């Protein structure tokens, strides 16, 4: 089973989780790159505003073609209660190449339901596994347990799909 983890990370937290998942699944990593300055307080507010307006922005072409993978795991921070703009752009551009999807979010405390629903609508499929990690989970050091459960759910779901 070929797995690709596609993520966007402004602060590094989403990247850290992607790397942990990749080790556990033997997956390849692909970071979404946009060329907006998202550093500091101004970058934080600009990013939140773009997400709130549901903007689609230019992103760099991926090195790996999602169609070549059996599963795409997408990781995104939640910005202003919405998908990050780079991940929305990725999903819009590559949605027809995604055959199976799992999805995780990193947030300050936002409810991830709208983000999960928007991703599902864009790719026209229900993710096989979902995970939301808050900064509180990271601070309390229980995020690694959550990642283990997420990976276990992915493996279980893939096993069930193969036996059908």
Tens digits of per-residue pLDDT, 58-71? Answer: 999 999 999 999 99
Any domain includes 50: yes
User: Is pLDDT above 50 for 41?
Assistant: yes
* In-domain check, residue 118: yes
Q: Which residues, at least 6 apart from 150, have a Cβ–Cβ distance to it below 8 Å?
A: 21, 102, 104, 129, 130, 131
Predicted pLDDT of residue 26: 95
- Domain membership of residue 145 (yes or no) is yes
Concatenated DSSP letters of 111-146 = --HHHHHHHHHHHTS--S-EEEEEHHHHHTT-HHHH
Is 143 a member of any domain? yes
pTM for the structure as a whole:
0.92
Q: Is residue 164 part of a domain?
A: no
Is the predicted pLDDT of residue 142 greater than 60, yes or no? yes
Decide if 29 is inside a domain: yes
Structurally, how many domains does the chain consist of? 1
Percent of the chain with pLDDT over 70: 98
Segments in the chain forming alpha helices (H): 13-25, 40-52, 85-94, 113-123, 135-139, 143-163
In-domain check, residue 84: yes
Which residues form the domain of 86? 3-159
Rounded Cα gap, residues 164 and 63, in angstroms: 33
- Residue 36 belongs to a domain with what CATH number? 3.40.50.360
Instruction: Tell whether 102 is covered by a domain.
Output: yes
Neighbours of 26 (CB within 10 A): 9
Tokens of 107: 């947030």
Please say whether the beta carbons of 29 and 22 come within 8 A.
Answer: yes
């Amino acid at each position: 089973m070929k797995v690709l983890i596609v993520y966007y990370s402004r602060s590094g937290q989403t990247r850290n989780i992607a790397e942990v998942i990749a080790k556990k699944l033997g997956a390849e990593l692909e970071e979404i790159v946009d060329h907006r300055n998202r550093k500091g307080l101004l970058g934080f507010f600009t990013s939140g505003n773009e997400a709130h307006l549901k903007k689609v922005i230019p992103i760099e072409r991926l090195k790996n073609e999602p169609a070549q993978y059996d599963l795409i795991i997408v990781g995104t921070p939640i910005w202003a209660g919405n998908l990050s703009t780079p991940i929305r752009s990725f999903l819009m551009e590559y949605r027809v190449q995604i055959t199976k999807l799992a999805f995780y979010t990193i947030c300050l405390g936002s409810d991830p339901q709208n983000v999960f629903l928007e991703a599902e609508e864009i790719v026209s499929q229900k993710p096989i596994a979902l995970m939301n990690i808050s900064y509180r989970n990271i601070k309390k050091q229980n995020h690694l347990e959550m990642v283990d459960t997420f990976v276990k759910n992915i493996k279980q779901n893939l096993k069930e799909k193969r036996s059908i």
